[in-house]
Structure 1
Amino acid sequence: MGCRSLYFICVIFSLFFSSIAQSLQNQSARISLDDLLQQYASRVLARSHSGILYKATLPANLSGMEASVVRLRGGSFWTRGANYSAFQLPPKISASPYIKRLAIVYQNLGNWSSHYYRVSGHSLVTPVVGFRAYDASNFSSSVITPINLSVIGDPISIHFPQFLLPSGLNWTAKCVTFNVDGTVFLTDMTLPNVCSTPNQGHFSIVVEQPKRKARRGWNLWRWWVVVVVCGFVGLVSICVVSILLVRHTKAKKIRKMERKADQGESFKTIWVGSSKMPSAAVTRTQPILENSYAP
């Protein structure tokens, strides 16, 4: 009993730590992807003009993704905000630390979205998009430093393209936010196809995976098990009953034969020495002449 309990405890701990390791691995992969897209986006900053969105050139192994960058002055960003790509950053967003120029890198992971981002029990219905602000004071540098943004006024809004929900069920779409620190939040949409956030990160729209189908499949599988077990038990019962009937029939025949034997002619007994033995009455056959003439 103790060994079995220890085994189950070890299994639970191994599953727990493997899930943690998988989560850390996914987080590391996302950070590496952000750094890689930032590097390709920063290459266009040296020849860029403020307030113009530039699309970065990505390698063939990142086909399906998109990255773009815009460089802004700190004062202009505070008073006007930034309405580029799918994001609308309203005025009164402060950068920390304060910088003269900042760059905003936008991402669209396209068909790679579900490879890097997942929500337990939900399915993505739109690509994952994201943005991150960087210090662009020294735009000649190939490496730019990320900065924090603090939303003081209205929240940042993300506008997604029109999407179609799977047919057959009454689906409810939710906004999902993948924060920079790895936390995940589900919220309701403020407007159709529009999500809002006070933070940087990645965003998408998800729907909850249908539990009814899974439950129906589980019930079907359970009924099949019940049918198979009941069929097996019924077959065994039929075999047992058949064997008992055959034995009962044979025993009945034997008892009948014994009763007939007991009801037959009884023999007299005589003593022969010290033994008692059955004896039948002696009947002599009368002689009969072959013809009526005497010799």
Structure 2
Amino acid sequence: MNSVAFQRLVFAMLLLLNIPFLKAQSPTKGTSVSSRFLDSVLQDYAFRSFSRHRQRTGAIYDGIVSPEFTGITVSALRLRSGRLRRKGFYGYKEFDIPGGVIQSPYVERVVLVYQNLGNWSSVYYPLPGYLFLSPVVGLLVYNASHLTAKRLPELDLRASENPILIKFESLGLLADGVLRKCVFFDLFGGVEFDRVLNGSVCSSVKQGHFGIVVKESVPSPAPAPSKTPENPIAVGGGGGAGGGRWNNEWWIGGVVAGVVLVVVVFGGSWAVRGFRQRRRIEKMEYEAEGGGPLAVAAVGSALVPVAMGTRTRPVLENEYVS
């Protein structure tokens, strides 16, 4: 096995070992590490595009990514550093690079690698509290001295006169009045926000990854319950959820009121019955006050007066005097 084949085998093993772990990263410090690993992988795919074409300075070559990165596109553009600084380069996908940009350290030729993360944008660049209206696109600059090199470090690219413009062609649908923001992810895990120009254009003075986002809508609070009517009237079927709730409440209130009413009625009737019984006993005692007190006997739980045991002796019919 030659050295080139061995290097490819080692790289493939590293890729297989790292990719599942990277996808499982949470949106914390680990995510910036996974996105940086992705940059090195996409740099290799972009550089491979030169081997399939006759290498021409100033030509854009689209790379081919492996199936596990389906949805991500990469391209490579090789330029002389002097030409890039004097004239810039306009129309490199979404990027317009003006004259006056400089790279550090200085090299004779550079390769500008373009990335479009598509539906992987929020995976490698999660932004809690925001929704992406555009895919995340990246522009990274490398030394063009070795087009077969892998995991190259990026050069530092700065715009010294006019900013780099990122023109997004299409954005996701959103409601009127929602504020759009440009978001910039630098190569060190930093995040910056800026205003959107002309509805879909962002600007920057350095390389990195860019997108347009909006804040996630906050659920509106539930409306306050309506006041209970003083004289509720049952209307129709009332099949709605709210009607059923109010019907249940009134039904429970009616049951409670009925129980209270029954207790009041029976308590009042017992009180009236006791009052009448006491009045009857007092009257009987008053009428019998001339002949002595009446005998008292227990009837149930009450004491009532009763007649004495003596009564008028009966007279037989034949005892009458004719």
TM-score by length of 2: 0.69
Q: Percent identity?
A: 27
Of 33, 37, 49, the match for 1:32: 37
Give unpaired runs (5+ residues) of structure 1: 1-19, 272-276
Task: Specify the code of the residue in structure 1 equivalent to 2:164.
Answer: I
Change beyond 3 A, Cα 1:186–1:287: farther
* CA distance in 2: counterparts of 1:154 and 1:288, whole angstroms: 146
Shift of 1:122: 2.6
Aligned to 2:28: 23
Query: Which residue of structure 2 aligns with residue 166 of structure 1?
Result: 174
Give the direction of change, closer, same or farther, for the CA distance of 1:234–1:25 in structure 2 (3 Å limit).
Answer: farther
Shift of the 147–223 alpha-carbon distance from structure 1 to 2, 3 Å rule, reads: farther
**Residues 263 and 142 (structure 1), Cα distance of their counterparts in 2 relative to 1, 3 Å cut:** closer
Distance, in Å, in 1 between the alignment partners of 2:116 and 2:31 is 18
Offset at residue 69 of structure 1 (A): 0.7
> How has the CA–CA distance of structure 1 residues 207 and 289 changed in structure 2, closer, same or farther, with 3 Å as cutoff?
same
1:254 aligns with one of 270, 274, 287: 270
1:220-231 equivalences under 5 Å are 220=223, 223=225
For 2:103, what is the secondary structure of its paired residue?
A: strand
Deviation at 1:208, TM superposition (A): 2.9
Q: Find out whether 1:79 has 2:86 as its counterpart.
A: yes
Aligned twin of 2:113? 105
Matched letter for residue 68 of structure 1: S
1:280 to 307, 310, 316: 307
Instruction: State the distance in 2 between where 1:119 and 1:142 align.
Output: 29
Q: C-alpha displacement at 1:280, in angstroms? A: 2.3
Q: Is the 8 A contact 2:46 2:62 kept in 1?
A: yes
Post-superposition shift, 1:241?
4.6
2:274 partner letter: E
Q: Report how far residue 106 of structure 1 moved.
A: 0.2
Distance of aligned partners of 1:178 and 1:233 in 2 relative to their CA distance in 1, 3 Å threshold: same
What are the residue-to-residue correspondences of 1:158-237 with 2, within 5 Å? 158-163=166-171, 165-167=173-175, 169-211=176-218, 214-215=219-220, 218-220=221-223, 223=225
> 1:131–1:202: 8 Å Cα contact kept in structure 2?
yes
TM normalised by structure 1 equals: 0.75
- Name the stretch that deviates more: 116-125 or 173-182: 116-125
Conserved 8 A contact 1:42-1:143: no
Distance 2:295 2:212 in 1: 110
- Count of residue pairs brought into register by the alignment: 262
- Find the counterpart in structure 1 of residue 128 from structure 2: 120
- What displacement does 1:89 show? 1.1
Could you say what the CA RMSD is over the residues aligned between the two structures, in angstroms? 3.5
Provide the C-alpha distance between the structure 1 equivalents of 2:43 and 2:185, rounded to a whole number of angstroms.
18
